[in-house]
Amino acid sequence: MPRGEVIVNSELCKECSLCVAACPHGVLGIGKAINSKGYHSVEAVAPEKCTGCTLCAVMCPDVVLTIKRRSPERK
Amino acid sequence: MQTVFQKPEALTDVAMHYCPGCTHGIIHRLVAEAIDSLGIREQAIGIASVGCSVFAYDYFNCDMQQAAHGRAPAVATGVKRVRPENIVFTYQGDGDLASIGMAEIVHAAARSENITVIFVNNAIYGMTSGQMAPTTLLGQKTATSPRGRTVEEMGYPIKMCELLATLEGPAYLSRVSTHDSRHVLQAGRAIKKAFEVQQQKKGFAMVEVLSTCSVNWGMTPVNALQWMEENMVPYYPLGVYRDVTAKEGN
């Protein structure tokens, strides 16, 4: 089970790829679906690698990403 | 699973109009996170400027007022003096603050008005499609300096933190960047500090945040961050230029 989870609000995404570049584990990629603004939204292409480090969300200019992490006591 | 990152309460649900990859969005979020973490959302009054960030009043979930071009520090002065119990901040770009608003920012700093200024420096006029700004780097190509900015024709870019640091008034002056996640987190701490300085009634606080304008620079958002790190950071050195709380050992 992955340590973290990225939840994408696809409607807000503008396909800038800053989160894709920021992720150290290659979790994120640009998807094929198009949102109502006409952008290909980012999606978790390798969700099993997510550690919940939040670096992608820190670099996202549009607050597209919500990050969840497994709490340490449950490890 | 616990939520470790989500939209701060001090941002509204309105989708921002900024171009893809514009670091304005990151800086908006940092300001909102600082407001949330200090619990001052109900007290905060933001002064929006003119430029790309003119619609900041739609995005911040606190009381907002729009000022004429460059006059945000003057409006903030009035608001803060009439309502000293509120936390007043301006959010200004380099065209607004360092060009038409130069007089207002210098005098607000000289008077040490107890306000917080968020100064976003992207070295270009973004809203009007990429003309040369006072902060445009030497050699940088813009719509009005198509062969690159030269000293002979256009003079030198203005370093606002260094300029204001010559005054006695400012209580906190800091320059931060948004070119990677580590620097974004540092920028967030500096912005929070600038609000704390106002809470402690120390006087004028300004954070200059280096920012990108990928569309008008003619780059992808990822390349723009790299260009900023390689070109802007060397000319606009990061760091704290004034911190009166450090002198007092707080």
pLDDT in tens, A31-57: 999 999 999 999 999 999 999 999 999
Confidence of residue B140 (pLDDT cuts 50, 70, 90): very high
Query: Confidence class of residue A75 from pLDDT cuts 50, 70 and 90?
Result: very low
Taking one residue from A and the other from B, the number of pairs with CB-CB distance under 8 angstroms is: 79
Beta bridge partners of B88: B45
What are the beta bridge partners of residue B242?
A: B173
Q: Any idea where the domains of chain B sit in the sequence?
A: 24-245
Which chain B residues are closer than 8 Å to A61 by Cβ?
Answer: 16, 18, 21-26, 29
Nearest CA in chain A to B187: A58
Contact at CB, A63 and B7, closer than 8 angstroms: yes
- The Cα–Cα gap between B61 and B166 comes to 35
* Maximum Cα interatomic distance, chain A, rounded to a whole number of Å: 42
Of the candidates B4, B21, B225, the beta carbon closest to that of A54 is on B4
Mean pLDDT of B155-166: 98
Closest CA to B236 of B218, B213, B204, B209: B209
Average pLDDT taken over every residue of chain B: 97
Residue B127 to residue B131: CA distance in whole angstroms: 9
The answer to whether A69 faces chain B, any CB pair under 8 Å, is yes
Half-sphere exposure (CA, 13 Å, Cβ side) for B132? Answer: 21
Q: Strands across the sheet with B44-48, in order? A: B63-66, B44-48, B87-93, B116-121, B205-210, B172-177, B239-243
- pLDDT exceeds cutoff 60 at B148: yes
Pick the residue from chain A with its C-alpha nearest to B5: A67
Predicted ipTM?
A: 0.94
B88-139: per-residue pLDDT in tens?
A: 999 999 999 999 999 999 999 999 999 999 999 999 999 999 999 999 999 9
Task: Out of B3, B4, B18, name the one closest to residue A61 (CB).
Answer: B18
Give the minimum alpha-carbon distance from A18 to chain B in angstroms, rounded to a whole number.
Answer: 6
- Does B24-245 carry CATH code 3.40.50.970? yes
Which pLDDT score, from 0 to 100, does residue A1 have? 82
Distance to chain B for A33, nearest Cα, Å: 17
Instruction: Express each pLDDT in B178-237 by its tens digit.
Output: 999 999 999 999 999 999 999 999 999 999 999 999 999 999 999 999 999 999 999 999
Tell me if chain A has a CB within 8 Å of the CB of B22.
yes
Neighbouring C-beta atoms of residue A24, cutoff 10 Å: 11
Q: What is the pTM of this model?
A: 0.96
Compute the nearest-CA separation of B28 from chain A (Å). 8
Which residues, including other chains, have CB under 8 Å from residue B76's CB and lie 6 or more apart? B47, B67, B88, B89, B90, B108, B113, B115, B117
A57 CB within 8 Å of a chain B CB: yes
Cα separation, B104 vs B70, whole angstroms: 7
Which chain A residues in 4-33 lie under 8 Å from chain B, judged by CB atoms?
A: 4-5, 11-12, 14-18, 21-22
Give backbone dihedrals phi and psi of A34, rounded to 5 degrees, phi first: -110, 135
